[in-house]
Amino acid sequence: MTESTLSTETAATAYDGDPVFELHRGGKMAIAATASVSDKASLSMAYTPGVARVCTAIAEQPELAHTYTWVPNTVAVVTDGTAVLGLGDIGPAAAMPVMEGKAVLFKEFGGVDSIPICLDTTDVDEIVETVIRMAPSFGGINLEDISAPRCFEIEDRLKEALDIPVFHDDQHGTAVVTLAALMNALKLTGRNPESTRVVISGAGAAGVAVAKILLEFGIKDLALLDRKGVISSTRSDLTASKKAIAEVTADVTGRAGSLADALDGADVYVGVSGGTVPEELVATMADDAIVFAMANPNPEIHPDVAHKYASIVATGRSDFPNQINNVLAFPGIFRGAIDVHASSITEGMKLAAAQALAALVGDELSADKIIPEPFDPRVGPAVSAAVAEAARVDGVARA
């Protein structure tokens, strides 16, 4: 036994008996065979010489790979470890438990197989090239925990280069579930999108994606803020992604200034920043306000404070009502896209997913129930069916 092995085992004993570490011991997933190889006949079909017939058929008709391999039902969960949960840039090795967890959720909630891939590079060109080269092994690419603004360029370039779904869950999964919850919150408070004023705090991957999907939904008055205040073209410090979103948000409404300026009279607050909003600012929001404080584990506005001024409150936590949880979206989105061999995931498919989630609440709709629970067995099938139909409507379905 090497010195390295001994030191690793010694370090691991510090966590003996901890149920979380015990659950993770050896990892949370494994590869399982679907074909039995128990005698010469089955061996000759699963491997040589029988497998050669399948390879030859696929070489002649590449589309047969969708029928005779696991490729179409297998997603790569790709990260560089630069924006892991609320932990930040902890690197690819430390990111693996999260990517394994994502793979487990894909399987449990969508019946989708996935492989966690943690890349030891943060270079945009290298990440894009690596994913493109391994893409023939997968039916979809789920980008995960890659820091902004790099994540925007990586996703855009991969979508341009590949003819399989590419989906950055930190952006679009968050956006879909947020929109679903907001649809029902607006219904409860008697608001319509065109006259609702929204403030989004946090201009990273999630904040920008939430802003874009809310605009698609019909929100007209939207202010997106970073640490320096409202993102508008009056500022000289904007990245390309922030300048682009400024042109369709604050530049349209003429809003500028600080969080205090933006929140005064606002109908909706969406927090994806990890910061803290003082209570006196929450108190300036409109009557029957809606507060989605989604930072984990510490919401930007604690629910006890939010409820003093808001009619509807949601967080990213499971111990409060109305959890905004990405698991409600991404398994069903990929399931639906894979089922119709979609070449991409369109804005229409995301909107359809949000509408399907919102509709599931039905007669249970209340201030404490604006979104389904993650373990509601209807969620995956409803989202996948809506996404598949939207893919057909948008012309990206190939089956």
- Give the Cα separation of 41 and 278 in Å (integer): 71
Name every residue whose Cβ is closer than 8 Å to that of residue 81 and which is 6 or more positions away in sequence.
89, 90, 91, 92, 93, 94, 95, 118, 145
**123: number of Cβ within 10 Å:** 12
Record the tokens describing residue 207, joined without a space. Answer: 């904040």
Please answer whether residues 271 and 224 qualify as being in contact, where contact means their C-beta atoms are separated by less than 8 angstroms.
no
Q: Is residue 61 classed as helix, strand or coil in its secondary structure?
A: coil
Only one residue has tokens 């999630």, namely 206
325 is in an annotated binding site: yes
Of 174, 172, 163, nearest to 344 by C-alpha is 163
Record the tokens describing residue 233, joined without a space. Answer: 């073209």
Q: Is residue 221 classed as helix, strand or coil in its secondary structure?
A: strand
Enumerate the active-site residues: 47, 102
- Edge to edge, the sheet with strand 197-201 lists 229-230, 221-226, 197-201, 268-271, 289-293, 310-315
194 is in an annotated binding site: no
373 is in an annotated binding site: no
Peptide bond into 149 cis (omega under 30): yes
- Give the Cα separation of 324 and 313 in Å (integer): 11
Q: 77 forms bridges with which residues in the sheet?
A: 116, 142
170 is in an annotated binding site: yes
394 is in an annotated binding site: no
Residue numbering of the annotated binding site for a divalent metal cation: 144-145, 170
Residue numbering of the annotated binding site for (S)-malate: 296, 325
